[in-house]
Amino acid sequence: MVAKVIDGKAFAANVRAQVADHVASLKKTNGITPGLAVVLVGEDPASQVYVRSKGKQTVEVGMNSYEHKLDASTSEEDLLALVDRLNNDPDVHGILVQLPLPKHLNEDLVINSIDPAKDVDGFHISNVGLLGTGQKSMVPCTPLGCLMMLRNHHGSLSGMDAVVIGRSNIVGKPMAQLLLGDSCTVTIAHSRTKDLPDVVRRADIVVAAVGRPEMVPGDWIKPGATVIDVGINRIERDGKNVLVGDVHYESAAQTAGAITPVPGGVGPMTIACLLANTLTACCRANGLPEPEGLTA
Ligand code: GUN
């Protein structure tokens, strides 16, 4: 079998178009423009690229973008004071503090100072708890994007065997919660898992989120399974810098039923879901119906 390629770039463009439509009607009907504030502390080059891209896409869907760039030496007190101001600003519906923060700042403390209703990353401990107990929450963007693509491909996920490889707070754990919420039988595998190949071979859905280049070979994939590759690893091959996932794409695509490529799979969905979360937060803040198909 040669897998169907799940085109994350096209899927993300479709999500952004749905967000843009909804934003336009919010403006017209309710006179409300959703606003996203992004806070960047320091000059990490990768973070600067992400933040620029977030700001550009926010404006493209018709939302207001507020960028706060702070010096790397900013004190925790000053950062917390900014978050407090954004929490109390009615024009700001979503707040994202770009991670990683410089070492002298306590990430948990800063993230948990964000109003959970504006926590469009879904990292606040309240949102983690709400997701874990099946209640309405803000859902982390990358797992939400993976869930959207899986639902689109399969319709119902009920009863499917899903393996999530990786147990991070940002992807692995919330991904497992979302799959459980959609009635999958979920296994979270990690570096200490025994017989990982056999565990993966049982799965109808494989979500790889470990950050190890091409760690999952094609012969671990059950014929017809759906493979979602969250990894974005930069490696050198034949003297060139290339991006590869956590899955060995060429071999996995021979066995899988469907697979996301790297690049152009999960990657573009993350910012699209950030915009969707900002819209959702804005609708909730104003007591308006949430956008359909853009939440968990
Ligand atoms: N750094 C890399 N990815 C992310 C993300 O999704 N959210 C935040 N806040 N920081 C990041």
- CA of 78 relative to ligand 1 center, distance in Å: 21
pLDDT, one tens digit per residue, over 175-208 is 999 999 999 999 999 999 999 999 999 999 999 9
The closest residue, in CA terms, to atom 9 on ligand 1 is: 98
User: Hey, which CATH number is domain 31-115, 3.40.50.10860, 2.40.110.10, 3.30.420.40, 3.40.50.150?
Assistant: 3.40.50.10860
pLDDT at 1 over 90: no
| Alpha-carbon torsion angle 217, 222, 224, 226, nearest 10 | -60
* CA atoms of 221 and 236, how far apart (whole Å): 25
Pick the atom of ligand 1 nearest to 270's CA: 6
Average confidence score pLDDT of the chain: 98
* Ligand 1 touching residue 121 (CB < 6 A): yes
Distances (CA, A) of 238 to 149, 211, 235, 246, 285: 32, 21, 10, 19, 52
What are the sequence ranges of the domains in the chain? 31-115, 141-268
* Ligand 1 touching residue 127 (CB < 6 A): no
pLDDT, one tens digit per residue, over 43-60 is 999 999 999 999 999 999
pLDDT at 271 over 90: yes
* CA atoms of 97 and 93, how far apart (whole Å): 14
72: Cβ contacts below 8 Å, ≥ 6 apart: 41, 42, 43, 102
The pLDDT > 70 percentage for the chain reads 100
pLDDT, one tens digit per residue, over 93-136 is 999 999 999 999 999 999 999 999 999 999 999 999 999 999 99
* Ligand 1 touching residue 36 (CB < 6 A): no
φ/ψ of 265, rounded to 5, equals -110, -100
Distances (CA, A) of 112 to 105, 107, 219, 267: 13, 8, 42, 26
- Asked whether the CA dihedral 82, 73, 98, 24 is positive or negative, the reply is positive
Which residues are known catalytic residues? 54, 98, 121
The closest residue, in CA terms, to atom 1 on ligand 1 is: 99
- List binding-site positions for NADP(+): 166-168, 232
pLDDT of residue 3: 97
- Does a cis peptide bond (omega within 30 degrees of 0) precede residue 100? yes
pLDDT, one tens digit per residue, over 226-261 is 999 999 999 999 999 999 999 999 999 999 999 999
The closest residue, in CA terms, to atom 11 on ligand 1 is: 99
Which CATH class for the 141-268 domain?
Answer: alpha beta
pLDDT, one tens digit per residue, over 67-101 is 999 999 999 999 999 999 999 999 999 999 999 99
* CA atoms of 62 and 103, how far apart (whole Å): 35
pLDDT, one tens digit per residue, over 206-222 is 999 999 999 999 999 99
- CA of 140 relative to ligand 1 center, distance in Å: 10
pLDDT, one tens digit per residue, over 8-45 is 999 999 999 999 999 999 999 999 999 999 999 999 99
Report the greatest alpha carbon distance in the chain: 57
Residue 274 C-beta-side C-alpha neighbours within 13 Å: 27
